């Protein structure tokens, strides 16, 4: 699991960065009154945050 841990840890970092980018895009769209599109992006963000929590938990268990 050691080799996989490093790779998965890197993926978790990339996922975190992606979540932040999606959240920022959703915030900009919400401010521009593009609420329907912003709402969809917020849903994507929530789903990715859930996946990120699961991945983080897995990484903590398998250190």
Q: Which value, in Å, is the radius of gyration of the alpha carbons in the chain?
A: 14
Question: Rounded distance, CA 49 to CA 15, Å?
Answer: 9
pLDDT band at 3 (very low <50, low <70, confident <90, very high): confident
What per-residue confidence (pLDDT) applies to 1? 67
Q: In this structure, how many other beta carbons lie within 10 angstroms of the beta carbon of residue 18?
A: 14
pLDDT digits (tens, 9 = 90+) for 14-35: 999 999 999 999 999 999 999 9
What per-residue confidence (pLDDT) applies to 2? 77
What per-residue confidence (pLDDT) applies to 26? 98
């Amino acid at each position: 699991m050691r080799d996989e841990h490093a790779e998965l840890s890197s993926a978790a970092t990339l996922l975190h960065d992606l979540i932040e980018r999606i959240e920022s895009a959703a915030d900009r769209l919400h401010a521009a009154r593009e609420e329907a599109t912003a709402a969809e992006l917020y849903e994507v963000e929530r789903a990715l945050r859930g996946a990120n929590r699961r991945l983080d938990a897995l990484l903590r268990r398998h250190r």
